[in-house]
Structure 1
Amino acid sequence: MKLSYIGFRSKTGRNVEKIPAPAPENSCRWARMPEELLREVLMKVEASESEWPERRSVVACAGVCRNWRNVMIKEIVRVPEVSGVLSFPISVKQPGPRDSHIRCFIKRNGSAHSYNLYLSLSQALAENGKFLLGARKSRHATFTEYIISLNADDMSKGSNAYIGKLKSNFLGTKFSVYDALPLPTGAKMTRSRSTRLIGSRQVLPSVPSGSYPVAHISFELNVLGSRGPRRMQCIMDTISSSAIKPGGVAPTQTEFRHSSADTPPALPISMSKSSCTDEALSGPLCSQREGQLILKNKSPRWHEQLQCWCLNFNGRVTVASVKNFQLVASAEGGETTAEHEEVILQFGKVDKDVFTMDYRYPISAFQAFAICLSSFDTKIACE
């Protein structure tokens, strides 16, 4: 059975020069397969492919018809938190694995002001990986903005590929990460007052086009010029500090919700006035609200022989740079516990325009990518 032709029809005896259109859901014979048999077949396909690039057959099965897609996505393929594998686009919005890191790398294109995130397919530090996310930098009079998209060639906020953005203050010392869509019910999230424009018209209120803050990043000023790398902290607005404890849960999206202007979408979030909106970027960073997870950079040690600050990246970083960092959870009350020693996100340079990015639970690839983008800006007052 050739998966690339499942669900398609072509006339016998003729050469097919291009991919035929998919058959209607109700006429596809594969859609009428008994659920027990279908589930058994898809389970064997999923079990036989543990990583990319072979995992593309899993994605092909999900694209056959609605029945196959529902069984594959909702019943068989587990979230990255459990499987440690990124299979579908929604995986970039879901927390990483609890017991290991998902290894990625970022390629920078300075002339185009673009950054692409790839999933590493081998142990090599820089190779042709699987594309995950793209970002494009744009400078404005009082701030810098990074548009994050599922499509490297389409960075429009009006596109279905648009999933969020990163916005800085004037000095580039404070950043806010915004998600284009709200998280599932149970996640504490507030909606900012900013709206999107498509063309020259404002999007209708029924379209879920608002910006929902999910993280705030700040870099500590270094006006005295003390030695050491940048000091940063990230306040995760939508993740509870209890998420990293045994039995803790982080919010997990299960699907992208694209609604038309004719159907008002449900917004399953706590709608309240936010104290951390766009205006906060020009003033002091919002203080931690009760129960939020705070990430801070792991303190390096000074190496007397090398005369430099050092962190153990386990071979994932090869070039010294002020941009390199490791983030760990901030302990409450100054107590040091095992869960606070685990590196949740690490980012470092391996070539002129290539950087590794390794992340794990409770943050997602989207959140990790946005945090790493904040490190690319030059910060004279922080170094």
Structure 2
Amino acid sequence: MNKPTSNPGPRDAPIQCYIKRDRATSIFRLYFGLTPSEDESDKLLLAAKKTRRATSTEFLISLVADDFSRASSTYVGKLRSNFLGTKFTVYDSQPPSDEAFKANHSRSSRRFHTKQVSPRLPACNYNIATITYELNVLRTRGPRRMNCSMTYIPISSIQEGGTAPTPKSFPQENPPLSLPSVKSDTVSKDSLVLKNKSPRWHEQLQCWCLNFKGRVTVASVKNFQLVASVDPSHNVSDAEQNKVILQFGKIGQDMFTMDYRYPLSAYQAFAICLSSFDTKPACE
């Protein structure tokens, strides 16, 4: 079942989670763990509520599953789409600290556990990532193609000896949820960009295939694996470039797995996966 080793390396230990979708309420719940269990009350990491507007779709993200008010101390941020559902922006409600801003995106982690909620300032919108789905103009067969520009995570985070705002090793009981962000509407040339890992066409099955190592069991256009998209000038090893940083896939009618690793946080990974739940007829 692709379980983490007892002493995982700093960059090689994926955090394995799963997402439950409630169609009736349009609520998505992110749980920490390998597989769904009967007692999930203490495993909830984040929850999101999907709302449709005239020109966009929004996912409001909270630390709890019954309060999505922006005025609440449990409100984390939101994901907003454009009209076509081809571009999404991830917003964090936490304003950047002056020290973090001056240090050019250097920051410490926050909210390591759902019960540890610090006093919050009024909710604001700070752009921390942009997710773009490519239009499938020629209607070619294959999975959706996407790119995720992480506004404040530097490419250097995956270079030898590099660091990122997230811890290099994740406590298995309290994975990091979110981080302070820098207010920015543009992506630096040194920001980390994630792209789809290219699937292989399986002649016998007549479908596009990716190796999810048993973590995904149902074929779906929503399934994806993301790896770093890096220019050769950045001197990132092939092994690091081929490493799956985030994978998401279907295991049941309304059940999905989400496995992420350094340098992403749970909030960033969850928001990227939520974008897959919006309808995108022009991309399929």
Which interval holds the TM-score relative to the shorter structure? 0.7 to 0.9
Q: Does 1:235 align with 2:134?
A: no
The residue number in structure 1 matching 2:254 is 353
Q: Does 1:156 align with 2:66?
A: no
Q: Does 1:147 align with 2:64?
A: no
Structure 1: where are the runs of 5+ without partners? Answer: 1-82, 85-95, 190-205, 257-267, 277-287
Q: Is the 8 A contact 1:187 1:251 kept in 2?
A: no
The one of 216, 224, 239 equivalent to 1:317 is 216
The residue number in structure 1 matching 2:164 is 250
Letter in 2 for 1:161: T
The residue number in structure 2 matching 1:24 is none
The residue number in structure 2 matching 1:61 is none
Letter in 2 for 1:248: G
CA-to-aligned-CA distance 1:255-304 (integer Å, 9 cap, x gap): 99xxxxxxxxxxx9766xx444xxxxxxxxxxx52100000010000000
Cα distance between partner residues in 2 of 1:162 and 1:247: 34
Q: Is the 8 A contact 2:153 2:165 kept in 1?
A: yes
Q: Does 1:127 align with 2:127?
A: no
Higher RCO (CA 8 Å, separation ≥ 6 residues): 2
Name the larger-Rg structure.
1
Identity %: 59
Secondary structure in structure 1 of the residue aligned to 2:54: coil
TM-score (norm 1): 0.60
Deviation at 1:336, TM superposition (A): 6.5
Secondary structure in structure 2 of the residue aligned to 1:371: helix
More strand by share: 2
Letter in 2 for 1:126: P
Aligned CA RMSD, in angstroms, stands at 2.5
Letter in 1 for 2:72: S
Pairs within 5 Å for 1:117-266: 117-120=30-33, 123=34, 125-128=35-38, 129=40, 130-183=43-96, 185=100, 186-188=103-105, 207-252=121-166
Cα distance between partner residues in 2 of 1:319 and 1:126: 16
Q: Does 1:110 align with 2:23?
A: yes
Cα distance between partner residues in 2 of 1:317 and 1:170: 30
Cα distance between partner residues in 2 of 1:317 and 1:269: 31
CA-to-aligned-CA distance 1:29-77 (integer Å, 9 cap, x gap): xxxxxxxxxxxxxxxxxxxxxxxxxxxxxxxxxxxxxxxxxxxxxxxxx
Cα distance between partner residues in 2 of 1:151 and 1:275: 28
Pairs within 5 Å for 1:14-33: none
Cα distance between partner residues in 2 of 1:183 and 1:359: 24
Cα distance between partner residues in 2 of 1:332 and 1:300: 21
More helix by share: 1
Change (3 A) 1:353 1:249: same
CA-to-aligned-CA distance 1:197-233 (integer Å, 9 cap, x gap): xxxxxxxxx9452211110000000011011100000
Cα distance between partner residues in 2 of 1:153 and 1:352: 23
CA-to-aligned-CA distance 1:315-356 (integer Å, 9 cap, x gap): 000000000000000021498721111000000000000000
Q: Is the 8 A contact 1:183 1:252 kept in 2?
A: no
Deviation at 1:138, TM superposition (A): 0.6
CA-to-aligned-CA distance 1:160-195 (integer Å, 9 cap, x gap): 000111000011110000111135613539xxxxxx
Q: Is the 8 A contact 1:187 1:269 kept in 2?
A: no
The one of 240, 257, 263 equivalent to 1:339 is 240
Structure 2: where are the runs of 5+ without partners? Answer: 1-6, 107-119, 168-175
Deviation at 1:127, TM superposition (A): 2.5
Deviates more, 1:129-138 or 1:310-319: 129-138
Letter in 2 for 1:136: K
Letter in 2 for 1:330: S
Deviation at 1:98, TM superposition (A): 1.6
The residue number in structure 2 matching 1:259 is none
TM-score (norm 2): 0.80
Cα distance between partner residues in 1 of 2:181 and 2:135: 34
Letter in 2 for 1:232: M
Q: Is the 8 A contact 1:183 1:251 kept in 2?
A: no
Cα distance between partner residues in 2 of 1:97 and 1:181: 27
Pairs within 5 Å for 1:250-329: 250-252=164-166, 274-276=184-186, 288-329=187-228
Letter in 2 for 1:102: I
